[in-house]
Copies of this chain bind each other. A is one copy, B any other.
């Protein structure tokens, strides 16, 4: 009808969609996807380690033996054979699980959304780490909670802060944590903190959501027990194959009490009917060979360890003495804290101009903090590219410091 399209929808959006607009950071990331830019921003796994011939033969099997299932609709809870395979994967981290207590989701991200949907009424208080996984904040924020932020230090969540908040009468609906090699922090919750958190939440009657995407990607030291294994009744556990296999199949899961599982399945059916059977059958067949996935995992750990080392060495050599950063024992990320006067969001355009990208810190706080912080991912670029990227970023930080000093002296 009309030649020029006009926005007839502008006054009709829901309250929760009011703030949904593309940010400048988003636009910069589009620029940063050019190959000459060293992206230390995205958390894309190194899927080139997957043996392609084996993948091809597993896919052939899927189509030969299970096409009728792989191409069809499935149930909301996910294929039973896959849920069985996922319990074996959880056993590798000391988590005992019944396949009946597992809901397969489109990555662990969808589990966060569905948990928000079944637990959060507008105005409810929920407890998150500061900084927290930005995708969890996006998922939860759709349901309009208030946030209780609990700081992180080198031993993970400062559980004492949560305890003081409870004493003062604040009652979060749940506590959300990434205890192993957190995103963006890279830090791991110590055993003492785990015991404290689990005991405190049990006493207070507050469920814990334990998100563990990186647990199997440990480079140094011994694994710590999952929160779920310390108190199965009170911990909802989230996992994913995005880091041990491939994000492209979109397979994550929640392990929870039957009453929670039942609601998650109904919420899942309302959200997208069912997961991709194709992705689920492929994942199930892939993990059916334990020697294979353990070999791929060992390759990944070795590769990521070298990339982490390259990044930490380069940072130590090149960043100004005012910078502080975490030393992750696994996972994907290093978290950098710079002097208070530095605005990492404002600096991103200059960084992209110098062909290096990172994620500014403010995205990881629901309360506006983090303007002098940034996240660096070492998972995807080669060691050589990581060194290049850190060199460029180090030079930029040096120039910024020089500029700041000259302005301050005036």
Contact = CB atoms under 8 A, between A and B. Distances in A.
Interface of A: 1-2, 5-10, 12-17, 20-22, 42, 44-45, 47-48, 50, 52, 55-56, 59-60, 63-64, 67-74, 105-107, 109-110, 113, 117-121, 124, 135, 138-139, 141-143, 173-174, 202, 205, 207, 230-234, 242, 246-250, 257-260, 262-263, 266-267, 269-279, 282
Nearest to A63: B56
B257 A9 contact: yes
Contact of A173 (B12, B139, B272): B12
The residue among A5, A15, A232 with the most chain B CB atoms within 10 A of its own CB is A5
Given A1-B232, A9-B260, A106-B276, 10 more contacts: A2-B233, A7-B258, A12-B173, A55-B63, A55-B71, A56-B64, A135-B269, A142-B271, A247-B277, A276-B278
B259 A10 contact: yes
The residue among A12, A48, A205, A277 with the most chain B CB atoms within 10 A of its own CB is A12
6 contacts: A1-B233, A14-B143, A17-B118, A50-B71, A59-B59, A248-B277
A121 B263 contact: no
Given A233-B5, A272-B109, A56 B47 contact: no
Contact of A141 (B242, B270, B274): B270
Contact of A248 (B231, B232, B278): B278
